[in-house]
């Protein structure tokens, strides 16, 4: 993405196709109560005007998946959509706990295509059929448009982003995703998901006890942060290690790069990385390397994710 293209998207917004989103429909009289016991978000808030971000965790409080929930009054259903890679994970996980509940879970991934609109026109946009779901998928206000497969793509007069351009915006705006930042060893608060995806007042769900303890103690093994480089001359790669100064001035590993993107107008690298908790505050400088840090390759921690 060059600087002109980036500026055009920043000014006009854009339309991003999200291909292959895993999509599940839940129907039945117990659908709200059931799903409320499976995810970290309060499903009672679900409606047909906006999405609610949620995590699915295991009994130890670690992530199984994440996704967006909305309700549909047209067919009295709840919908949960997630990253394509989670399709084969979330389906069996949710099915496992349907025992005596009046709930039917159906995988409808192959029926729908998801488009996400963001930018200055979002507030006044009502959708091509009079409806749209308010949704923050790229760290800013947006709307989701679900189109049945085989129907024409939406034409809204804004730039249509490539998948690569969407990835650049995701990284620049500090939005974690599977499998880059999120995985089976991740606690949601480590990735900064507690503010957006978790309710601590709705009652019990799988993994709730562990996550409540983390909230009470305030202690986490690591924390997801944003970082930025000093200039465009250095090269970085996902998996690069971050080093800080240890005892006696010896460099020690404190983290790892999970995502990165080059900012077209600021002309420097930005990225996401996990750091050992409470080791390095915002504005700290770190060295970057493979097995060992190289002099001259430095980054600065710019913020915690979602703060």
Whether residue 210 is contained in a domain is answered as: no
Q: How many domains does the chain have?
A: 2
Residues 113 and 238 in one domain: no
Domain, as residue range, for 167: 3-172
- Give the pLDDT score at 118: 94
Whether residue 177 is contained in a domain is answered as: no
Residues 248 and 167 in one domain: no
Residues 150 and 11 in one domain: yes
- Give the pLDDT score at 120: 86
Report the CATH number at residue 263. 2.40.30.110
Classify strands 104-107 and 22-27 as parallel, antiparallel or unpaired.
Answer: antiparallel
251-306 tens-digit pLDDT: 788 889 999 999 999 999 999 999 987 566 777 788 887 655 554 567 888 888 87
141-198 tens-digit pLDDT: 999 999 999 999 988 889 999 999 999 999 999 999 999 999 999 999 999 999 899 9
What does the pLDDT average to over 110-122? 92
- Give the pLDDT score at 279: 64
Whether residue 262 is contained in a domain is answered as: yes
- Burial bucket for residue 230 (CB in 10 Å: 0-12, 13-18, 19+): middle
Report the CATH number at residue 40. 3.30.1360.120
What does DSSP assign to residue 231?
-
**Residue 130 pLDDT > 50, yes or no?**
no
> pLDDT band at 244, cuts 50/70/90?
confident
196 close to 224: Cβ distance less than 8 angstroms: no
- The per-residue pLDDT of the chain, averaged, comes to 89
Whether residue 208 is contained in a domain is answered as: no
First-to-final CA distance of the chain: 27
Across-strand partners of 54? 67
Sign of CA dihedral 207, 212, 213, 215: positive
Whether residue 197 is contained in a domain is answered as: no
Last residue of a domain, one of 137, 153, 172: 172
Whether residue 146 is contained in a domain is answered as: yes
Residues 124 and 230 in one domain: no
Residues 78 and 163 in one domain: yes
Whether residue 89 is contained in a domain is answered as: yes
Q: What is the pTM of this model?
A: 0.92
What does the pLDDT average to over 25-44? 97
60-110 tens-digit pLDDT: 999 999 999 999 999 999 999 999 999 999 999 999 999 999 999 999 999
184-198 tens-digit pLDDT: 999 999 999 998 999
Give residue 227's region: left, alpha or beta (phi > 0; psi -120 to 50): beta
Q: How far apart are CA 240 and CA 255, in angstroms?
A: 9
């Amino acid at each position: 993405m060059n600087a002109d293209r980036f500026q055009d998207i920043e000014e006009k917004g854009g339309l991003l196709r999200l291909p292959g989103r895993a999509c599940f429909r839940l129907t039945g009289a117990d659908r709200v109560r059931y799903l409320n016991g499976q995810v970290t978000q309060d499903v009672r808030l679900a409606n047909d005007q906006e999405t609610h971000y949620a995590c699915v965790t295991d009994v130890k409080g670690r992530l199984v998946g994440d996704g967006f929930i909305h309700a549909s009054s047209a067919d009295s259903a709840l919908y949960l959509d997630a990253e394509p890679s989670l399709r084969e994970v979330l389906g069996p996980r949710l099915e496992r706990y349907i025992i005596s509940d009046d709930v039917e879970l159906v995988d409808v991934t192959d029926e729908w295509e998801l488009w996400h609109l963001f930018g200055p026109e979002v507030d006044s946009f009502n959708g091509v059929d009079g409806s749209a779901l308010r949704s923050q998928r790229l760290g800013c206000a947006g709307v989701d448009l679900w189109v049945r497969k085989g129907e024409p793509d939406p034409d809204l007069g804004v730039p249509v982003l490539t998948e690569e351009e969407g990835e650049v915006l995701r990284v620049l705006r500090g939005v974690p995703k599977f499998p880059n930042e999120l995985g089976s060893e991740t606690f949601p608060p480590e990735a900064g998901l507690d503010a957006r995806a978790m309710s601590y007042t709705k009652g019990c769900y799988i993994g709730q006890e562990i996550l409540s303890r983390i909230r009470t103690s305030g202690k986490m093994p690591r924390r997801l942060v944003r970082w930025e480089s000093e200039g465009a001359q250095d090269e970085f790669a996902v998996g690069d290690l971050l080093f800080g100064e240890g005892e006696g001035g010896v460099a020690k590993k404190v983290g790892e790069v999970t995502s990165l993107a080059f900012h077209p107008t600021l002309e420097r690298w930005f990225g996401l990385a996990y750091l050992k908790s409470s080791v390095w505050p915002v504005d700290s400088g770190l060295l970057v390397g493979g097995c060992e840090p190289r002099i001259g390759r430095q980054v600065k921690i710019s913020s915690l994710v979602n703060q």
